[in-house]
Structure 1
Amino acid sequence: MSQLHPWSRYVAIGDSFTEGIGDPEPESPGGHRGWADRVAEQLAERTDDFAYANLAVRGRLLQQIADEQIDPALALRPDLISISAGGNDILRPGTDPDEVAQRFDDAIARLRSDGATVVIFTGPDIGMTPVLRRVRGKVAIYNENLRYVAAKRDAIVIDMWALRELQDSRMWHPDRLHFSSLGHHTIARATLGALGIEHDLQPMRPEPLPGRTWRQARTEDLGWAREHLVPWVVRRIRHQSSGDLITAKRPEAGSPRR
């Protein structure tokens, strides 16, 4: 096989987004696939001896990712690193997106120290969600900071805010906090495109959603709040994380093929 791109070792770090939550796959390590696994699979098809590790753990805050994942990631000697971090911080009341972005900049400086290509992600536009829209302004401010960091550190940006396909509710898991399999597939396509990689991931275009009455929408919102929102709020109050006792699903660099 000829070398069709410049990377041979890819390490993904971050939180639930990069771990692949919302895209269940029993045969994948950790029981979830996600956009990063999909990207790694495509990269592996285009070069010999490709290695991939995924150190992301759900629920992690930016400082936890910096403290727990950056050094192990660099120890794997990657030439390609992706990081999505800070989203869980931004969702918390009272956080300052400028301060979070400064710590993100520090993290990117460390990741770029050995010359690896670094990929970062802006937050998606969450204006269509019933609860998260309250922090839409914070997400927008954080995104502008991330674009500045990317320009400063020469990182590649996957602009999920501009990825209008993510406005479709079918791109989201029923918990409305994570992406569905369709969402992860769409983000993998966007990532490969930003890396300049030709790939065979085809757009997935589901049928239009049937119309809903106001009463049906209200019932769905109440069911979602009971099943997903309330447990999430309770964990925040108790200072618990969905990632407690969870470890990285791919801690060692190896073949991404299942």
Structure 2
Amino acid sequence: MTNRLVSLGDSFTEGVGDDDPAAPNGVRGWADRVAEVLAARQPDFRYANLAIRGKLLPQVLAEQIEPALAMEPDLVTLYAGGNDLMRPKVDIDALTDSYELAVARLRGSGARVVLFTGVDGVEDALFRQMRGRVAIYNENVRGIAARHGTLLVDMWSMRQLRDRRLWAPDRLHLNSRGHLEIAIAVLDVLGVAHELTSAELGPRPRLSARERREQNLRWSREHAWPWVQRRLRGESSGDTLSPKRPELAPFGAGSDADARSVRG
């Protein structure tokens, strides 16, 4: 039974890519979807989401672990490190050593913990170049999960996430369909019955070389170059944002989600 869920991390957990003007920070995401299902099953359920887009793993740990522990959660979801892996240089072993210390503290509080591996970007020309880094990170995370008895959502093995139709136009964040896939995976790992179903997308469209080139040029102009400019200025997309759900509070009936169906 889960009464107090706290979700930690970066844009993945905040819900970026799953736009919803009615939701805090203008995004919904997989964690809100999971909370909605859990709230429908447990009248005294409470939920907080401290994730903020653009955060590096050390920032997530420094800024979110203590507030999370103070809430005495019985379930914590934690994903961080994706932004670090995109930097020119990263010490993956040092990164995941600090990650493990944080996981140990969360588990020591008595909370169940859900961790995530990174997605396999093999079918994207840019992110395929990071595949080795992500694979090493994932193996370290699997070790952490095994040593500390956490649950694990293995996004690397979720082949449906290779379909670009599950991703937002920036190619960095999942769209609503992608976040739905993660919500299903989390609930399944928790062993929670639900009625969420994957979107029926049908066969992938075939693009000509010219169409792919045009798409890549548009993506570079509209998303990649602005991202590079922010990095050069030392800015993050989350610099002016606060956690969208900073305190444990009811979710579902009587909240901003009361009109939604758990179907998606």
TM-score between the two structures when normalised by the length of structure 1: 0.96
State the identity as a percent.
51
AA at the equivalent of 1:217:
R
Q: Is 2:136 aligned against 1:146?
A: no
Offset at residue 94 of structure 1 (A): 1.3
One-letter amino acid of the counterpart of residue 203, structure 1: S
Aligned length in residues: 253
Q: Report the alpha carbon displacement of residue 211 of structure 1 after superposing the two structures with TM.
A: 2.1
Q: Which runs of 5+ in 1 are unaligned?
A: 1-5
1:98-144 CA distances to partner (integer Å, 9 max, x unpaired)? 22111111111121121100001100001122212211100000000
How far residue 210 of structure 1 moved from its aligned partner, in angstroms, is 2.8
2:221 alignment partner in structure 1: 226
**3-state SS of 1:125 partner:** coil
**RMSD value, Cα:** 0.9
Equivalent of 1:98 in 89, 93, 98: 93
Paired with 1:25 and 1:178, the residues of 2 have a C-alpha distance of 14
Q: Secondary structure at the match of 1:45?
A: helix
The alpha carbon displacement at 1:207 in A equals 3.1
Aligned equivalent of 1:3: none
Q: How does 1:31-180 map to 2 (within 5 A)?
A: 31-180=26-175
Q: Select 1:213's aligned residue among 208, 211, 232.
A: 208
Contact 1:120 1:157 in 2 (8 A): yes
Map Cα deviations across residues 165-190 of structure 1 (whole Å, 9 max, x no partner).
10111111110000010000001001
The whole-number CA distance in structure 1 between the counterparts of 2:36 and 2:62 is 28
Contact 2:49 2:246 in 1 (8 A): yes
For residues 225 and 245 of structure 2, the distance between their equivalents in structure 1, rounded to whole angstroms, comes to 31
> Equivalents in 2 of 1:86, 1:205: separation in Å?
31
Contact 2:20 2:26 in 1 (8 A): yes
- Provide Cα deviations, 1:147-180, integer angstroms capped at 9, x if missing partner: 0000111111100000111011111111000001
| 5+ residue gaps, structure 2 | 258-264
Superposition deviation, residue 95 in structure 1 = 0.3
Cα contact 1:14–1:85 (8 A) shared by 2 = yes
Deviation at 1:209, TM superposition (A): 3.4
Asked whether the equivalents of residues 97 and 139 of structure 1 are also in contact (C-alpha less than 8 Å), the reply is: no
